[in-house]
Structure 1
């Protein structure tokens, strides 16, 4: 921290939030879709991970769009972790939308509209657009300013490639763009002829001798070859819901930022579907079926299940992944008992992955991974104690004890978390079983 002219200048500190599943990098499978015991943040669950790997392979090959997958298992067996691993394995190009069933009932719009918007967010469209650009190395940039200081500025831009050199006359808009981007001789730039946008690609290698020292932001590139004017194909990736919002509101794309999307008329969606399908037939667009993950799916009612039963068979439908920890329970909104709290006709259309419980060794590995993710140094005895607590309480509870124990370690100024900090954290914070016992004993008294 420094003081300049009486002002206190503080150092900028980057704050990173560590989420519950931030340690997961993928499914941990090899090229033959065989899972390792511990890889990419995933531990155990070999059969479930391998089954999820086949699902990912089918998604990437476009063979499973419009189907549904159900991940079942007891609480704390990694159902959400498997869904997150699927999203990581799919990559950034495949849309992944995660919601909880309770979100459907907490919005101002009706249930089916909320589910429809979630479905549309999970369907991506890659739209191809051809643009004409000027690409080359700037040889000289001359700007003529009016002597009075009032009026438009004009200029001349000399660009070259390895094969040719051309001079272009610039208007005031292009001159302002060059000034704003700090374009100088020796820069390799790309100019969009339609929009007038100027983009600096880097600095030409031929100008590298001009610098005795340079910062990390200086990027040297080769001088382009061929003609200066070229046609480039640009691919824009958007989701269907964004297209719906833009075409259903008078303020257009502003609704995307305000969040006030409201209900979208079916006529608008039908017109958009028709247009997008035409683009696909003409080769201008390509569908990217994504993944819609609904956690705690047993919270949905019979109306939502009926809607999903029909929606997953639509032509424009993503892969639906649902997770639940219910065994035999009533379908919400009815008196019918069914497996996993879902109607049998919907279960018939789903592939089911069973998440098994973790062994003590696997729990120990997960706790070690979580400690490393949070930057906590924990000794072996403390980790062994945490593993025993996880078997008697729950793994989620013990994962939260790691952060508390780290705060206690900092206060005592120890090098690593020991059993003493774990014991103090255990006494300070109750788990669900001890809390239930405490309430039961208090009620009896």
Structure 2
């Protein structure tokens, strides 16, 4: 049987799982560093400035932001498969640098490489999943990538507890090394995957328009106007503002549990592991109800949880009790902003610039998180974490309101139907935005 035949015989779920596993190594690379941040700080003698730079350029923030911006453009021009085949090879090089790091510059370079490749791959993979998923189960398929994202932290934090205890920094190096093995497995599986049907059909139409002299080049000006601008506002309003608190939890939380909550390293990792276990439960809820009930109502309920959870950290440190930290851990885990963002950013933009637009919103999100990540250690060192927590509550509240007011409900619709309904009144055939949509559902 030929490789091409294997490609097109893959089931929708196998395509989704193979593409979505990038989320495991994305989250794994973030939390592996978080689990050993105190040890790396001691090993390299990092000051607050160096920690801020590391956090700002990691796969959690700036590195992924730039990678998404570049990867989105490449993804729309050369295809989803082009990006997710080559990005993982570079990712493995970056992780290897981290594993072998003997000084801060080497460690930082590894983080930058990992961030760039993760950003590019996430855009390609999330776009591919939405385009290949059956319309009636799109939320379920998109949610599966989030399961992989949450599973990464659960595995890494759970394994880090004994490894850090027994081997110290070597244990954290081992956690990074396992990501190379997983990435190699994913890369091999992806060699058997097809290109996105939606993208392939759009390129056929694009060639016709080029031949007729009617083709219009995609620009960010095209994305930042009309209905597309409203979609950008929705995605950034929900995801960017929420992700500032999520990135804080993803990278700094063990450090915060230890230095603000006065917990041991082991207990902080137990709480982080529990948090992501709850995130998996929340994603299962999203997958079950996302294609069945009104999505705005679903978001309104679960989008409020981060705002409520972060209130705990606005209390004076001496008032913090272990049960309060457990309450934060559990309630914060029920947030659904990332699940909804993946769904909306993949289905609400036309196919011609779907990945470019998603890459742009992902860039804005991770860039904002990068700036915040640089500021957090300085805030903790100067005015204390309470000030940061108050800001996080406010941003989470705005994120909740934007989604509760603007969230669409496109359950069961094909991507073509969504594009026609949202853009048909303001686009003509020459834009290759409506007619480029394929009939795949």
Q: TM-score, normalised by structure 1?
A: 0.18
More helix by share: 2
Q: Which has the larger radius of gyration?
A: 1
Higher relative contact order (CA 8 A, sep 6+): 2
Q: TM-score, normalised by structure 2?
A: 0.19
Q: Which has the higher strand share?
A: 1
